Amino acid sequence: MATSCSSQLSKCVKQQYLDLPQGDKVQAMYFWIDGTGENVRCKTRTLDSEPKSIDDLPEWNFDGSSTYQSEGTNSDMYLIPAAMFRDPFRKDPNKLVLCEVMKYNRKPADTNLRHSCKRVMEMVANQHPWFGMEQEYTILGTDGHPFGWPSNGFPGPQGPYYCGVGADKAYGRDIVEAHYRACLYAGVEICGTNAEVMPAQWEFQVGPSEGINMGDHLWAARFILHRVCEDFGVIVSFDPKPIPGNWNGAGCHTNFSTKEMREDGGLTYIEASIEKLAKRHDYHIRAYDPKGGLDNARRLTGCHETSNIHKFSAGVANRGASIRIPRTVGQDKKGYFEDRRPSANCDPYSVTEALIRTCLLSEEGEEPVEYKN
């Protein structure tokens, strides 16, 4: 299997330098979503002291013409610090800084979906919306071939790999364990992980996270996973259907609840939200992958534990439905529901905003409502 050349460099030699004292200085790695709406970029600056909050972090800039975000004749873009995490690669006191991207005129970049999401979340803060997102992904070699698969052929059919144990069932657990611990160190709200149905496919879960924190923490977890895979010389893919044929795709199932849903009798509010979602299926499909539904069309076929992209459906414990009500929620008459439509490469800001707009702001129609300040 092909791995990157940089992964062959001695990590022991590198560690000699990382162990050197850095005085009072702090390295802050700023990272952001680029013009693809899927990939992340990063760069580092030195700070004179350890920042205690976002307010202590300076704004920065970058060349947007090299990230598909601006023209070369007017290329400067602004990086606005939005969320801060401990750096699991350089360790304390160094930081990872998630940034919003603003254009030269201080308006949000086209792929800065956090800006509008935060505004919508603030409108419903009194309802305490909680989210939990189940991020599926596939580990690939640098040649694009799934990790651990035969170089000429396929592994055995799906069946033994989901939550599997053993060298012939779990492909790449070292990466999963490294990522999990790095997220815990960073302060990411990661809550679990497991091997998925297709070999070399895994899942981690983030949440419950309230409001805008959901998107912030999922993007941080994705960034950390990219960096962990870089150290191992492999690639993480969030493609919703990385291998065509009789193999499971990759989604980002999104669990959602409000304070009312979590209290006694909350099933009534869950069912009311599902009725609203049924009337706005096409809007959500467009919001649930970065290509407006084209990526999900390869995955949501009605097979391999998915619903059909053209039909809305809901059911208790039904993994082939658009919306699944967990069995325990049906029994307890309160809790949350799971939207199984978002793709693995979705923008969590777009997904969570869409759920708020439809379920809590009761929006209708094919386009989001514009609210005045």
Task: State mean pLDDT over 269-291.
Answer: 97
**Whether pLDDT at 112 is above 90:** yes
Cβ–Cβ under 8 Å, residues 207 and 220:
no
Measured between alpha carbons, how far is 9 from 185 in angstroms, rounded to an integer? 25
**Residue boundaries of the structural domains of the chain:** 5-112, 121-360
**Whether pLDDT at 373 is above 80:** no
Measured between alpha carbons, how far is 126 from 305 in angstroms, rounded to an integer? 35
Question: pTM score, two decimals?
Answer: 0.97
Helix (H, G, I), strand (E, B) or coil at 11: helix
pLDDT on residue 74? 87
Task: State mean pLDDT over 241-259.
Answer: 96
pLDDT on residue 304? 87
Task: Tell me which CATH homologous superfamily contains domain 121-360.
Answer: Glutamine synthetase/guanido kinase, catalytic domain (3.30.590.10)
pLDDT on residue 372? 82
Give φ, ψ of 62 to 5 degrees. Answer: -155, 170
Angle (CA) 42-45-49 rounded to 5° is: 130
In the DSSP assignment, the letter for residue 356 is I
Task: State mean pLDDT over 204-230.
Answer: 98
Residues above pLDDT 90, as percent of the chain: 94
Whether domain 5-112 has CATH 3.10.20.70: yes
Task: State mean pLDDT over 291-314.
Answer: 94
Contacts with 187 (C-beta within 8 Å, 6 or more apart), sequence order: 85, 86
Give φ, ψ of 276 to 5 degrees. Answer: -65, -40
At 140, the pLDDT band (50, 70, 90 cuts) reads very high
Measured between alpha carbons, how far is 193 from 179 in angstroms, rounded to an integer? 10
Cβ–Cβ under 8 Å, residues 149 and 138:
no
Measured between alpha carbons, how far is 122 from 360 in angstroms, rounded to an integer? 12
Task: State mean pLDDT over 325-344.
Answer: 96
Task: State mean pLDDT over 257-270.
Answer: 97
Return the exposure string of 116-133: e unless at least 16 CB atoms fall within 10 Å of the residue's CB, then b. Answer: bbbebbeebeebebbbbb
Measured between alpha carbons, how far is 150 from 87 in angstroms, rounded to an integer? 36
In the DSSP assignment, the letter for residue 331 is H
**Whether pLDDT at 1 is above 90:** no
The H or E element spanning position 260 is: helix 259-262
Task: State mean pLDDT over 148-155.
Answer: 91
Q: Which tens digits make up the pLDDT trace of 164-188?
A: 999 999 999 999 999 999 999 999 9
Mean of the per-residue pLDDT values for the chain? 96
pLDDT on residue 64? 97
